[in-house]
Amino acid sequence: EVMLTSERYSVQRLPFSRLSDSDVAFFEGIMPGRVITNPEELKPFNVDWLKSVRGCSKLMLKPQTTAEVSQVLRYCYERNLAVNPQGGNTGLVGGSVPVFDEIILSTVLMNRIISFDKVSGILVCQAGCVLEKLNEYLEEQGFIMPLDLGAKGSCHIGGNVATNAGGLRLLRYGSLRGTVLGLEVVLADGSALDCLASLRKDNTGYDLKQLFIGSEGTLGVITAVSILCPQKPKAVNLAFLGCQSFTKVLETFTTCRAMLGEILSAYEFMDKKCMELVVKHLKLSSPVADSPFYVLIETSGSSSTHDEAKLNSFLEQAMTSGLVTDGTVATDDKKIKAKVLASFGFLRSLVCQALWSLRERITEALTHDGCVYKYDISLPVGKLYDLVNDTRARLGRSAKNVVGYGHLGDGNLHLNITAESYSHSLLDAIEPFVYEWTARHNGSISAEHGLGFKKKQFIQYSKPTEAVLLMQRFKAMLDPKGILSPYKVLPSSS
């Protein structure tokens, strides 16, 4: 059952103005036909993707230009109306939906590609462009987006930047903090900040865009993005492997980094429970024999012969040294390789997309398993799976499933717990235990999902008091009335 966000967490509505008919009339004047007040139409935008929290906004606006966003925010600022910026609404921490009756400001119609430079690989586009659509556009030009997520079919690039999304390509191309070159942002009072630079190097003053990357809509509304895109690799290979222990997963990673070097683009892992869930709920099939752990390795390079030779050499080493017990390989062009692998009992080969589905669709499979408690943690790689074991031991039969998967190459664990239905006592057993455990091992309580609404009160497990106070000062300076994404990211300053 979807719960009102304010019911589950003790939060009081702040004294913002209530929406009036004259407000709606003003917005209709700016953007006729793009003002949504029908409660049925609003329903899906009031509920998050996990169906775990919901607000009760009575109004959604769909601007098409930065000028319209400016007009909206200037008016809301003067009227003291709270605003909830929303992209594809694929967030997992309750950050993309209203908590109470905030106006939803949707970027869904801001989906124009402004420019692309084939020489530099720099793309400039509006914030509402869907990640997958951008990638398709770039692939036609011989480039790709530097990030890839399971939610790529519906998430917006503006939301990706606002949440500093990580995803499946971070190991190779780094985070958005490095690939985003410039932003256009509208501040709470409606003033537009044009920092839409298309330069790799610009050392003039403070790097203001970094304030907005990862700010989750609390400091300004991102309206356009300038981003550096890598060339599309000519050769992509995947290996999906079975490992008998987490220690073997780590040793395989060490060997993999040493032998594949510059062509290694992803190293993902999932445990046996994850595989069981994607097989059961999504009817996918495992390409390898049952194992306690599975690893997905991707290489991306410019020479298929060179890359295949390196991958084959690595796989031979991994098999003969007992790191890997079974596996399958694939290339993106459907030409399947066997070569040295045949003698090691590799089952069969698949195309890349089928292998990636096993990893990318775990989140989807979990939603079919009941109520999901999601944790997105960064830890020293050697400790990554200990948290899953300790949580499993702590919860015992009170949880249906406790699973661990994630971006091992980045030290990012997704710890997920499922139960038949929401239970306050189960949540109390998980939190703050998971956060205390993470802090004790010098980790971060949010590696890539952000804090949003659900995790804001736990920021102290990852940031010292002085840092939180400074963040609150930034918020007060850029949004003095606190109208942008209230109740999120930062604990209340009172």
- According to CATH, where is 3.30.465.10 located in the chain? 113-228
CATH assignment of 235-347?
3.30.70.2190
- According to CATH, where is 3.30.70.2190 located in the chain? 235-347
Burial of 183 (0-12, 13-18, 19+ CB in 10 A): buried
Ordered mean pLDDT values, 10 residues apiece, the chain (494 residues): 55 96 98 98 94 93 98 98 97 94 98 97 98 97 94 96 92 94 98 92 93 98 98 92 97 96 94 97 93 96 91 94 92 48 43 85 94 95 96 97 95 96 93 97 95 94 96 97 97 71
Retrieve residue 144's tokens: 């790709």
Rounded CA-CA distance 36/61 in Å is 6
Retrieve residue 370's tokens: 């009941």
Burial of 206 (0-12, 13-18, 19+ CB in 10 A): exposed
Number of other residues whose CB lies within 10 A of the CB of residue 24: 16
The dihedral region occupied by 84, where left means phi > 0, alpha psi between -120 and 50, and beta the remainder, is beta
Strand (E) or helix (H) holding 470: helix 465-478
Taking alpha carbons only, the member of 146, 151, 153, 150 closest to residue 171 is 146
- Give residue 173's Cα distance to chain centre: 15
pLDDT of residue 412: 95
236 strand-pairing partners: 300
Strand (E) or helix (H) holding 22: helix 21-30
**Residue 60: how many CA atoms within 13 Å on its side-chain side?**
22
pLDDT of residue 253: 97
Number of other residues whose CB lies within 10 A of the CB of residue 348: 11
* CATH topology assigned to domain 370-451: Alpha-Beta Plaits (3.30.70)
pLDDT of residue 219: 98
Rounded CA-CA distance 394/399 in Å is 10
- According to CATH, where is 3.30.43.10 located in the chain? 5-109
Handedness of CA 50, 220, 182, 447 (dihedral sign): negative
Retrieve residue 450's tokens: 């952000």
Peptide bond into 230 cis (omega under 30): no
Rounded CA-CA distance 170/158 in Å is 17
CA distances from 469 to 163, 209, 352, 474 (A): 20, 20, 46, 9
**At a CB cut-off of 8 Å and minimum separation 6, what does 94 contact?**
5, 48, 52, 53, 452, 453, 454, 488
* CATH 3.30.465.10, domain 113-228, yes or no: yes
pLDDT of residue 274: 98
Three-state SS for 431? coil
Rounded CA-CA distance 402/395 in Å is 9
Number of continuous H segments (helices) and E segments (strands) in the chain: 18, 18
Residue type, 140: E
CATH assignment of 5-109?
3.30.43.10
Rounded CA-CA distance 75/81 in Å is 8
**At a CB cut-off of 8 Å and minimum separation 6, what does 475 contact?**
218, 219, 482, 490
- The answer to whether the pTM exceeds 0.85 is yes
